[in-house]
Amino acid sequence: MKEIKDLNLPDEIRYSKDHEWAKVDGDIVRVGISDYAQDALGDIVFVELPEVGAVFKAGEEFGTLESVKAVSELYLPVGGEIVAVNMELEDSPELINDNPYTGWIIEVKPGDIGEFDQLLDRHAYLELLKAE
């Protein structure tokens, strides 16, 4: 496990309490898991992705990640319609471990962009990790 100070937590994205990240790109939001999450899960061996077109509320489970240790649920940080999924993960789940920020998982068209603003910034997310 990495020390908190060794975690890669970019400034320009937001984080959820469930350790997903979200990044606004035009009118869509791109979603993945944080460096802390990929490090805690260990080697990811399978990613279960949602269907494009599926609609979820913020906080709903939209897929699962299977690592050598366990299966974990993925929760959507911002509600809306799934407009793209990263198909490369089907054959190469290690992309998430290699770099969890280029190894994105889904893109969502948000129903309410206000939900993005409620996510944690780098500083608040770091505080959350320290508390855990």
Which CB sits closer to another protein, 28 or 41? 41
Alpha-carbon distance of 105 to 20, in angstroms, equals 10
Task: Out of 4, 8, 10, 43, name the contact with another protein by CB under 8 A.
Answer: 43
As a whole number of angstroms, the distance between CA 67 and CA 94 comes to 10
Query: Is 7 an interacting residue with respect to another protein (CB under 8 A)?
Result: no
How does DSSP classify residue 5? G
Half-sphere exposure of 101 (CA within 13 A, CB side): 13
Q: Could you tell me which stretch among 8-16, 27-35, 42-50, 117-125 binds another protein (CB under 8 A)?
A: 42-50
131 binds another protein (CB under 8 A): no
Buried b (16+ CB within 10 A) or exposed e, 54-78: eebebeeebbebebeeeebebbbbb
Q: Contact with another protein (CB under 8 A): which of 45, 120, 128, 129?
A: 45
For residue 57, state whether it binds another protein (rule: CB under 8 A): no
Residue 91, Cβ density class (10 Å: 0-12 exposed, 13-18 middle, ≥19 buried): exposed
Q: Does 93 bind another protein (CB under 8 A)?
A: yes
CB of 40 vs another protein, minimal distance in Å: 7
Q: Which residues bind another protein (CB under 8 A)?
A: 1, 40, 43, 45-46, 66, 68-70, 72, 93-94
